[in-house]
Structure formats: C-alpha cells, structure tokens
Amino acid sequence: MRGHWLAAVLGVAISSTTAWARPQQECLNASLVAHDGTPVGTEEVVDGVTFYISKPTGDTVKGAVLYLTDVFGIQLLQNRLLADSFARAGYLTVAPDMFNGTPARVDIDLPTLEASQFLEAHDVNGTDAIVDKAVAYLRATEAGAKKIAATGYCFGGRYAFRVAAAGRKGADVAFAAHPSMLEDDEISAVGGPASVAAAETDPMMPPERRSEIEALLLKTGQPYQLSLYSGTSHGFGVRVNVSDPVQKFGKESAFLQAVRWFNKIRNSSQLLNLNQHDYLRALQEHEN
C-alpha cells in the first residue's frame, strides 16, 4: 500500500511517496526548529571521538537520535542548532565529529580537487568506525537507547542508511536529507524503515537518481517514504537562507518529516520486525 499526496504551502510543492497514507497525529510545529541563537548542547570526548550531545529538557525521553552531519561537521552552527531541535522534540541527540576536527571548507556537491581530497581523507571504513562509537555510546547511556533513529544530511545521509543496515545492530530507523553518494547496495541493505527528503535541485541526487532510490526502497520490503521539496537545493535540510520563506519552509518541513517518522516508529516499535505487508496492516490496527 502506497500513498501519494501533493501540498502547496507558501509556494512550496511537496511530493511524497510513503509506505502508509494515514495522517500524522503528533502535535508538532516548526517552532521546534532553531535557525539561529546559541547552541544548548555540550561536547564530550569518548573513545577518542568528540560528540556534540543535546538532551531533552523534560522528564520523558522518547528515544535517541544519532545525528550524522554534512561535510561541515559538528562545528557548523546550523548542525548544532538542528541537533538541539531534535532534543526539543524529545530525543537524546548525539552528533559525532566524523571529521576529527577538520570539516570541509567547501561542499562536495560540485567536483573539485578539494572535495575529492576531503572524501579520500574520510573514507567509508574510517567513518563507519566513528559512527559505531556513537552507537555504542547511545546504547550505554542511562536513557537506555533501546531504539536508535539515525538522521543524516548530505555526507551523513549515506551513513544513516549504512548504520541502519540489516544485521549491523546500529540504528533501527533511518532518515536522510539530500543524501550524497548513496549506493544501490546500501539502500537494498537497510534493515528498518527509511525516509528520504529530496531537493528539487541537487547534482548529487538528480531526478533520475530519485526514481532509482524510490524503486530500490520499494524492493526492500521495509516501510519507506520519499518526499520532494520544490524550491530547494542540495543542503536545504541544514543550510538555507531563512529570509526566503520557501527555503525556510523546506528546511522546517524536512525536520518535521524526520521527527514524525521517528515518532511513528517509536509508537509502534513492537511492529518493527514484521514484513512490509504485515507491518502496514498491524499499524492500521494500532492506530484504530
């Protein structure tokens, strides 16, 4: 069962393909998203890796979010503020420094020598090892991260899928905004529900690649969602011109897409081990 919907708000069209079409019930709004200000999280060094950690302020912790940044790392203000936003939504949020204090100076959406050198210095094996340390930290917290939601942006979007691979014992659910360099086998290997937010203009994920990703997600048998935001470009999940209402709306909507996805899975976590058909039928029964 798949649902398709199209909405136009503030001049932004959002096209979404999702594995269920029932309306979302959570009371969430864009006020959760901090676009500027002072980050409220803290840094902690664990096993040689620096983590940016943001904690919910209330007594109830919904779960844990593993925040995997774009190439500008945890040093970028917008990444810290977005991690804080997930904490405001009720999730203990941990963002590892995937670049050991040396984030990129330029984005990787255009082929440049500097971008190529950066990617060579931060390969899959080294990055996976850092991500695994963040997972181990979350599993060991007092909050007890029984379920981990991975959210990744650009460079980190690929690793949100990788850490959610079947059998890896990493994340239980994945969200990726404008993922870069995401390979077919990494999509096919995902072991839990997966959600993607795509930009209208993205050299790392052009229209034909979006179609391929959707087809691969369908074949996994896992619940999935792919939403396309018009008026946006690569990086919109984190870095936008907030004076432009179209860009601002796109960023906020992608954030709410992730939180609603995580909340949906959290509220029906006992259903995670079912196949797609049984999952959807059980989810309907759960919500009725």
Q: What is the pLDDT of residue 143?
A: 56
User: What b/e sequence results for 186-201 when a residue is b if at least 16 CB atoms lie within 10 Å of its CB, and e otherwise?
Assistant: bbebbbbbbbbbbbbe
Whether 225 contacts 18, CB under 8 Å: yes
CATH superfamily to which 3-287 belongs = Alpha/Beta hydrolase fold, catalytic domain (3.40.50.1820)
Q: What is the pLDDT of residue 272?
A: 45
Q: What is the pLDDT of residue 58?
A: 75
Whether 164 contacts 174, CB under 8 Å: yes
Please say if 234 is a catalytic residue: yes
- pLDDT (tens digit per residue) in 77-120: 999 999 999 999 999 999 999 999 999 988 887 778 888 999 99
Q: Which of 19-33, 37-51, 168-182, 221-235 has the lowest mean pLDDT?
A: 19-33
Question: How is the chain split into domains, by residue range?
Answer: 3-287
Bridge partners, 3 (sequence order): 18
Q: What is the pLDDT of residue 265?
A: 74
Q: What is the pLDDT of residue 274?
A: 43
Report the pLDDT averaged over residues 237-260.
94
Q: Which of 84, 122, 178, 234 is catalytic?
A: 234
Whether 161 shows a pLDDT value over 70: the answer reads yes
Please say if 35 is a catalytic residue: no
- pLDDT (tens digit per residue) in 185-200: 999 999 999 999 999 9
Average pLDDT taken over every residue of the chain = 84
Q: Which of 70, 154, 172, 178 is catalytic?
A: 154
Q: What is the pLDDT of residue 255?
A: 95
Whether 156 shows a pLDDT value over 90: the answer reads yes
Distances from the Cα of 224 to the Cα of 91, 125, 196, 211, angstroms: 21, 27, 8, 14
- pLDDT (tens digit per residue) in 37-67: 999 999 999 999 999 999 998 777 888 999 9
Question: Is residue 79 helix, strand or coil?
Answer: helix
Please say if 27 is a catalytic residue: no
Q: Which of 70, 97, 107, 202 is catalytic?
A: 202
pTM confidence score: 0.85
